[in-house]
């Protein structure tokens, strides 16, 4: 081979490599970043068409399941909103951090720090008979809303519109929280994480939508065996079913908007409910009926379309999974674990559930579930299973069943859920007893399995230092010494040169938000996470917040 030929071939090879690298580089830079949309409904077990209920027509969610992955063993950590949503936003068990009682104050929706108020007496006593005021859960300094991680990574985070975290949502958690915000409000140069919450399936909508037309007839509903077949039951279940169908239509509208905007090709959609069903022995229950939820994940390329995944999943896993799918590793302290993506973790063996105070009613139950069996331990067995609760008795069938029970008119499975005291332990086989009405705790055939569940619960409670054993008033005093809410220290400004600002607060665990020029005075705060450059002609203000603390004052340079 001549030197000239060799040189020519080497030159050609370099050109080919250069073209390849340029092509690869261009393809990478032109690839759109992934967006994530959460569709969050309320108070609903897995009773959609895609989960086998042919009485409810949910074509939009059925299509989502057909194009995505459907999880059959997904569970909330509590059978009610606020403790469950605490776990979702923090990735931590509510019973680990003293956030297990429902609820601590009026934090359903975002309030500015100036709008937050607390009542010192709400007429509720803890298990020691002491007053429980309104308060905010104070988390350890390392616990923050997982959305702050996304914001630091450049994501626009918007929530329409429910928070309900057992603390007022920090102004650093979201770019915007409102009943009108949309994924369409995201800046064009930013990917987005958008949460759309629908209240249509909430417990309250059974009475609030009672005059809306029914789309499912009472004679067509499925009645769980623990309810008697009476008109009030059929009518309210028909309303429940009809509300689910109305919710499905709204889901379809949202997905159509994503498609119209050309976003389905780079958006992950995750649909879930915050806990199980909304009727008696469902909402606030610690068994399968209260904790089992639908969960569907649709990927942009319809990856694993139609797959059914039977792994044990907790709603705490949602945040870590979002981070993992976006190639972000979760903090080590999370109890939640990614179920997909780069940082996917090993499957869980069990899901754990809690039930404690619900409004004016106090109890303590813990549960262990593995998809087939349910183990429940009752720490206050002297109390009835169905306790009085003013809020849920606004549902016609609930108040009717309580009346029938008081007159001794219930029998069979319906009488079972109205037990006047509870066994210390319950154990159910969902394959043979889907409605959890045949307690087989004393069945010798299951003695070893029951012992495994019993040990799993004891180990878990020790591991998380279960706060349910403490009277709530004592927990509040640990959060707020002398019943005074701690306050976050003001932000301090350090200008290091060339307009480079460093912002700090002496409060450990504080997050800092800042506003510049025309944004000053709005409800939207940018999240400070690294030194920022502010030109001399610009004004900046900042304030700090730690979960459960009062926000700092607004300060400026």
Beta strand ranges found along 342-424 (DSSP E) = 351-355, 365-369, 373-378
Quote the domain boundaries for residue 536. Answer: 492-556
CA pair distance 150, 328, nearest whole angstrom: 9
Residues 178 and 299 reside in one and the same domain:
yes
Q: Are residues 19 and 150 in the same domain?
A: no
Backbone angles phi, psi at 215, to 5 degrees: -100, -10
Asked if residue 154 and residue 13 are part of one domain, the reply reads no
Per-residue tokens: 557: 């340079």
Does residue 397 form part of some domain? no
Domain for residue 7, yes or no? yes
Q: How far is CA 540 from CA 151, 515, 523, 525, 543, in A?
A: 19, 6, 15, 11, 11
Query: Quick one: which of 522, 518, 488, 516 has its CA closest to 501?
Result: 516
Helix (H, G, I), strand (E, B), or coil: what is residue 7?
Answer: helix
| Strands ordered across the beta sheet of 267-273 | 176-177, 156-160, 192-197, 35-41, 267-273, 292-298, 69-75, 307-314
CATH code at position 552? 2.60.40.10
Nearest to 187 by CA among 159, 157, 222, 225: 157
- Predicted local distance difference test score (pLDDT) of residue 424: 98
Grouping H, G, I as helix, E, B as strand and the rest as coil, residue 404 is helix
Report how far apart, in Å, the C-alpha atoms of 43 and of each of 166, 349, 378 are: 18, 25, 23
End-to-end Cα distance, the chain: 72
Q: Are 273 and 85 in contact (CB under 8 A)?
A: no
Instruction: Look up residue 499 and give its two tokens.
Output: 């307009």
Side-chain-facing half-sphere of 153: CA atoms under 13 Å? 21
Rounded to the nearest 5 degrees, what angle is found at the Cα of 117, between the Cα atoms of 115 and 119?
165
Are 289 and 251 within one domain? Answer: yes
DSSP character string of 174-234:
-SEE-SS--GGGS-TTS-EEEEEE--TTSTTHHHHTTTSPPSS-GGGPPPPTTS---HHHH
> How far is 88 from 173, CA to CA, in rounded Å?
13
Two structure tokens written together for 310: 């039977």
Residue 537: inside a domain, yes or no?
yes
Q: Which tokens is 396 given?
A: 């016609």
pLDDT at 73: 98
In a domain, 1, yes or no: yes
**Number of domains the chain is built from:** 3
- C-alpha pair distances (Å), 209 with each of 17, 171, 284, 448: 65, 33, 22, 48
Contact 195, 158 (CB under 8 A): yes
At residue 2, the pLDDT reads 46
Same domain, 191 and 315: yes
Joined together, the tokens standing for residue 257 give 């908007």
Question: Based on the domain organization, do 151 and 25 belong to the same domain?
Answer: no
Q: What is the separation of C-alpha 144 from the centre of its chain, rounded to a whole number of angstroms?
A: 14
Distances in Å between the Cα of 168 and the Cα atoms of 116, 119, 155, 173, 307 are 8, 14, 22, 10, 38
Asked if residue 5 and residue 78 are part of one domain, the reply reads no
Tokens 């904790």 belong to 291
* pLDDT computed for residue 315 by the predictor: 98
**Of the residues 347, 363, 384, which one is the last residue of a structural domain?**
347
Compute the distance between CA of residue 517 and CA of residue 411 in angstroms, rounded to an integer: 68
In a domain, 405, yes or no: no
At residue 309, what are phi and psi to the nearest 5 degrees? Answer: -110, 120
Residue 372, domain member (yes or no): no
Question: Does a structural domain hold residue 380?
Answer: no
Closest by CA to 50, choosing from 308, 276, 314, 299, is 308
- What residues pair up with 228 in beta bridges, in sequence order? none
- Are 2 and 59 part of one and the same domain? no
Closest CA to 523 of 112, 156, 182, 191: 112
**Helix 396-406 / helix 231-260 crossing angle, nearest 10 deg:** 150
Tens-of-pLDDT digits for all 557 residues of the chain?
444 444 444 434 443 333 343 333 333 334 789 999 999 999 999 999 999 999 999 999 999 999 999 999 999 999 999 999 999 999 999 999 999 999 999 999 999 999 999 999 999 999 999 999 999 999 999 999 999 999 999 999 999 999 999 999 999 999 999 999 999 999 999 999 999 999 999 999 999 999 999 999 999 999 999 999 999 999 999 999 999 999 999 999 999 999 999 999 999 999 999 999 999 999 999 999 999 999 999 999 999 999 999 999 999 999 999 999 999 999 999 999 999 999 999 999 999 999 999 999 999 999 999 999 999 999 999 999 999 999 999 999 999 999 999 999 999 999 999 999 999 999 999 999 999 999 999 999 999 999 999 999 999 999 999 999 999 999 999 999 999 999 999 999 999 888 899 999 999 999 999 999 999 999 999 999 999 999 888 999 999 999 999 999 999 98
Residues 22, 49: one domain?
no
Phi, psi at 413, each rounded to 5°: -65, -30
Q: Tell me if residue 412 falls in helix, strand or coil.
A: helix
Residue 20 has what pLDDT?
Answer: 42
pLDDT score at 557 = 87
Sign for the pseudo-dihedral over CA of 20, 21, 24, 27: negative
Contact 501, 515 (CB under 8 A): no
Residues carrying an active site annotation: 81
Do 16 and 42 belong together in one domain? no
* Pair 219, 305 in one domain: yes
Instruction: Say if residue 65 is in the same domain as residue 210.
Output: yes
**Residue 9 within any structural domain of the chain:** yes
- Number of helical (H) and strand (E) elements in the chain, helices listed first: 12, 19
Q: Which of 295, 327, 347 is the last residue of a domain?
A: 347
């Amino acid at each position: 081979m001549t030197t000239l030929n060799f040189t020519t071939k080497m030159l050609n090879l370099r050109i080919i490599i250069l073209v390849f690298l340029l092509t690869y580089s261009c393809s990478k830079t032109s690839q759109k970043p992934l967006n994530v949309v959460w569709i969050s409904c309320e108070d609903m077990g897995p009773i959609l068409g895609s989960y086998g209920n042919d009485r409810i027509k949910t074509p939009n969610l059925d299509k989502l399941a057909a194009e995505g992955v459907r999880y059959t063993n997904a569970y909330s950590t509590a059978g009610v909103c606020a403790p469950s949503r605490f776990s979702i936003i923090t990735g931590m068990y509510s019973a680990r951090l003293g956030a297990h009682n429902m609820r601590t104050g009026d934090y359903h929706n975002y309030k500015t720090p100036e709008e937050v108020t607390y009542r010192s007496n709400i007429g509720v006593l803890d298990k020691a008979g002491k007053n429980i005021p309104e308060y905010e859960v104070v988390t350890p300094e390392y616990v923050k809303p997982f959305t702050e991680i996304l914001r630091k990574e450049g994501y626009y985070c918007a929530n329409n519109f429910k928070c309900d975290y057992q603390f007022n949502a920090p102004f650093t958690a979201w770019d915007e929280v409102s009943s009108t915000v949309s994924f369409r409000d995201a800046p064009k140069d930013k990917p987005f994480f958008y949460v759309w919450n629908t209240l249509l399936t909430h417990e309250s909508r059974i009475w609030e939508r009672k005059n809306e037309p029914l789309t499912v007839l009472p004679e067509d509903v499925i009645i769980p065996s623990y309810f008697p077949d009476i008109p009030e039951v059929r009518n309210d279940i028909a309303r429940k079913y009809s509300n689910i169908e109305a919710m499905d239509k709204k889901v379809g509208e949202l997905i159509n908007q994503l498609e119209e905007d050309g976003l389905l090709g780079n958006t992950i959609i995750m649909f879930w409910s915050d806990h199980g069903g909304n009727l008696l022995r469902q909402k606030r229950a610690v068994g399968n009926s209260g904790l089992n939820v639908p969960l569907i994940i649709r990927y942009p390329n319809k990856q694993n379309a139609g797959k059914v995944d039977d792994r044990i999943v907790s709603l705490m896993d949602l945040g870590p999974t979002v981070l993992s799918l976006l190639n972000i590793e979760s903090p080590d302290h999370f109890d939640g674990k990614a179920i997909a993506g780069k940082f996917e973790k090993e499957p869980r063996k069990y899901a754990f559930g809690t039930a404690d105070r619900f409004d004016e009613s106090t109890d303590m139950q813990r549960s262990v579930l593995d998809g087939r069996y349910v183990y429940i331990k009752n720490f206050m067995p002297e109390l009835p299973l169905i306790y009085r609760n003013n809020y849920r008795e606004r549902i016609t069938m609930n108040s009717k069943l309580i009346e029938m029970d008081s007159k001794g008119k219930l029998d069979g499975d319906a009488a079972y859920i109205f037990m006047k005291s509870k066994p210390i332990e319950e154990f159910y086989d969902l394959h043979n007893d889907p409605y959890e009405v045949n307690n087989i705790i004393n069945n010798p055939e299951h003695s070893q399995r029951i012992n495994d569940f019993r040990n799993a619960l004891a180990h878990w409670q020790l591991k998380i230092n279960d706060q349910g054993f403490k009277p709530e008033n004592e927990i509040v005093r640990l959060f707020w010494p002398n019943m005074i809410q701690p306050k976050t220290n003001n932000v301090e400004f350090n200008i290091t040169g060339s307009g480079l600002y460093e912002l700090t607060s002496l409060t450990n665990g504080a997050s800092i938000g800042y506003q510049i020029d025309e944004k000053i005075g709005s409800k939207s705060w940018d999240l400070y996470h690294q030194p920022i450059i502010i030109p001399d002609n610009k004004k900046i203000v900042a304030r700090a917040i730690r979960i459960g603390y009062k926000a700092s004052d607004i300060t400026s340079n």
